[in-house]
Amino acid sequence: MSRKSKRSIILSAASAIILSQGVEKLTLEAVAKEAGISKGGLLHHFPNKQALIIALIKESSDRFYAELEAKAAKDPHEVGKWSRAYVDVTFNDDKKEEDLHAALTASLFTDPELLGLYRNDYFLWQKKIETDGIDPVRSAVVRLAVDGLWFAEIFGVGVPDKKLRDQVMEYLHQMTK
């Protein structure tokens, strides 16, 4: 097993614990057990819980940004491509969404200053969205609506039914043209 794949297994285990049991159950021992490795093996990759949470944030954020860039690059229409990519990528992969949710939750409840890592990446995404050729207010409304829907789904508060959600997504796409 390669170092990268073991690292991915550890991060997936940490994410699974946060999502199924809560941040308070996130311990190095629990992650090692969930990942099926020794605590020493885990410590080889992550010397402490903070390093593990930082990796969760960075990996999920990097993966999201890579998907965002790939989606925008494939869009044949230059105007609005970053806004459309943001709509699509935010809702196209439940695993990615769960990993980012777990990472942000862990940082919020263990060390809120770690959100700064995500904040920096988010700032870059936001700038690309605001300067993608559509009115910056319109692109901001699209981004904020996507974020609001994402948070509603994460926390299970005010989640629209599938039909309305699909209509909202289509409306957001129309706003990017």
Residue 177: which of 90, 89, 75, 65 has the closest Cα?
75
Please state the domain extents for the chain.
3-175
Residue 129: which of 150, 149, 146, 114 has the closest Cα?
146
3-175 homologous superfamily: Tetracycline Repressor, domain 2 (1.10.357.10)
Regarding predicted confidence, which is higher, 124 or 95?
124
> What's the pLDDT score for residue 96?
57
Cα separation, 10 vs 1, in Å, equals 13
Regarding predicted confidence, which is higher, 82 or 23?
82
**Mean pLDDT within 11-27:** 91
Q: Two tokens at 36?
A: 């099926």
> What's the pLDDT score for residue 97?
65
Least confident of 100-104, 149-153, 154-158: 100-104
Least confident of 52-56, 100-104, 145-149, 172-176: 100-104
